[in-house]
């Protein structure tokens, strides 16, 4: 009887420890929040010559995804001076962003990536540097 009680107690402690240490799905970056992330493309500290921008986003990541698959993407909209992509309804967490586009001043494609962490459920802007090969 005592052995059974010890075994059950040990099992209960292990289960509680596993539950207490696991993260819920709400603890991970991704959709389901109230943050809006605007990504601005910039090449050599200049943004006005960029066109055809696309920004890809990987949730819960700080580096390029090993499989090359991103969770979402947004086509940039152009203003007179900026290429911007907007991602809405994001939760707090880590994101990896990768962008492609074209710089009309040198007539070459540009690309670049970087990590961004959302810590507040608010609108925020990230300037993503891109460069030619």
Whether the Cβ atoms of residue 56 and residue 21 lie closer than 8 Å to each other = no
Q: How would you class 105 by CB atoms within 10 Å of its CB: exposed for 0-12, middle for 13-18, buried for 19 or more?
A: exposed
Could you confirm whether domain 30-129 is CATH 3.30.70.20?
no
- Hey, where are the domains in the chain? 30-129
pLDDT computed for residue 35 by the predictor: 98
CA angle (58, 62, 67) in 5-degree steps? 50
Q: How would you class 92 by CB atoms within 10 Å of its CB: exposed for 0-12, middle for 13-18, buried for 19 or more?
A: middle
- Tens of pLDDT, residue by residue over 77-93, are 988 788 999 999 999 99
Three-class SS state of 11? helix
pLDDT computed for residue 37 by the predictor: 98
- Confidence check: pLDDT of 8 > 50: no
Within 10 angstroms of residue 42's Cβ, the number of other Cβ atoms is: 19
Where residue 26 falls among pLDDT bands split at 50, 70, 90?
low
Q: How would you class 115 by CB atoms within 10 Å of its CB: exposed for 0-12, middle for 13-18, buried for 19 or more?
A: middle
- Confidence check: pLDDT of 110 > 90: yes
């Amino acid at each position: 009887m005592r052995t059974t009680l010890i075994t059950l107690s040990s099992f209960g402690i292990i289960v509680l420890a596993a539950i207490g240490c696991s993260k819920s799905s709400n603890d991970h970056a991704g959709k389901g929040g109230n943050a809006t992330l605007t990504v601005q493309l910039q090449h050599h500290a200049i943004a006005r010559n960029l066109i055809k921008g696309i920004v890809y986003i990987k949730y819960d990541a700080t580096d390029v995804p090993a499989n090359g698959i991103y969770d979402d993407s947004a086509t940039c909209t152009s203003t007179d001076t900026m290429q911007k992509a907007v991602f809405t309804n994001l939760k707090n967490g880590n994101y990896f962003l990768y962008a492609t586009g074209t710089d009309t001043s040198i007539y070459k494609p540009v690309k670049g990536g970087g990590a961004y962490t959302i810590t507040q459920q608010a609108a925020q802007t990230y300037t993503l540097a891109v460069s030619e090969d």
